[in-house]
Amino acid sequence: MTVEIQRRKDEHIRICLHEKVQASQIKNGLEKYEFVHCCLPELDYKEIDISTTFLGHKLKTPLLISSMTGGTENGELINKRLAITAQKYGLAMGIGSGRVIIEKPEIAHTFKVRPLAPDILLFANLGAVQLNYGYSWRECLSLVEILEADALILHLNPLQECIQQEGDTNFKHLLPKIGRVCEKLPIPVIVKEVGNGISVEMAEKLLGVGVAAIDVAGAGGTSWAMVESKRATNPLQKALGETFANWGIPTADCVAAIASKYPDIPLIASGGIRNGLEAAKLLALGADLVGFAYPFLKAAMTSMEALEGLVELLLAEIKTVLFCTGNKDISSLQNSSSLRLVSSPTSQG
Ligand SMILES: Cc1cc2nc3c(=O)[nH]c(=O)nc-3n(C[C@H](O)[C@H](O)[C@H](O)COP(=O)(O)O)c2cc1C
Residue with the smallest CA separation from ligand 1 atom 6 is: 68
- As a dihedral over the C-alpha atoms of residue 340, residue 286, residue 52, residue 143, rounded to 10 degrees, the angle is -140
Nearest protein Cα to ligand 1, atom 11: 155
Residues in the chain: 349
Ligand 1 near 125 CB (within 6 A): yes
Predicted confidence at residue 344, as pLDDT, reads: 60
Q: Which of 30, 67, 196 to probe ligand 1 with, by most ligand atoms within 8 A of CB?
A: 67
- Measured in angstroms, how far is the CA atom of residue 153 from the centroid of ligand 1? 12
Task: Verify whether ligand 1 is closer than 6 Å to residue 190 (CB atom).
Answer: no
Which residues does the chain have with pLDDT short of 70? Answer: 1, 344-349
Q: Check if 97 has its Cβ closer than 6 Å to any atom of ligand 1.
A: yes
Give the pLDDT confidence score for residue 345 in this predicted structure: 53
- Per residue in 115-168, pLDDT (tens digit) is 999 999 999 999 999 999 999 999 999 999 999 999 999 999 999 999 998 899
Query: Which domains are seen in the chain, by residue range?
Result: 2-348 (3.20.20.70)
Cα(68) to ligand 1 centroid in Å equals 5
Answer yes or no: is the C-beta of 13 below 6 A from any ligand 1 atom: yes
pLDDT in tens, 72-87: 999 999 999 999 999 9
Q: By the 8 A CB rule, do 155 and 127 touch?
A: yes
Q: Is the CB of 296 under 6 A from ligand 1?
A: no
pTM, two decimals, is 0.97
What are the two backbone dihedrals, phi and then psi, of residue 48, each rounded to the nearest 5 degrees?
A: -60, 135
Q: Give the residue, out of 111, 222, 273, with the most ligand 1 atoms within 8 A of its beta carbon, to mutate for a pocket test.
A: 222
If DSSP states are collapsed to H, E and C, what string results for the chain?
Answer: CHHHHHHHHHHHHHHHHHCCCECCCCCCCHHHEEECCCCCCCCCHHHCECCEEECCEEECCCEEECCCCCCCHHHHHHHHHHHHHHHHHCCEEECCCCHHHHHCHHHHHHCCCHHHCCCCCEEEEEEHHHHHCCCCHHHHHHHHHHHCCCEEEEECCHHHHHHCCCCCCCCCCHHHHHHHHHHHCCCCEEEECCCCCCCHHHHHHHHHCCCCEEECCCECCECHHHHHHHHCCCHHHHHHHHHCCCCCCEHHHHHHHHHHHCCCCCEEEECCCCCHHHHHHHHHHCCCEEEECHHHHHHHHHCHHHHHHHHHHHHHHHHHHHHHCCCCEHHHHHCCCCEEECCCHHHHC
Q: How far is the CA of 194 from the centre of ligand 1 (A)?
A: 6
Q: Is 98 in the pocket of ligand 1 (CB under 6 A)?
A: no
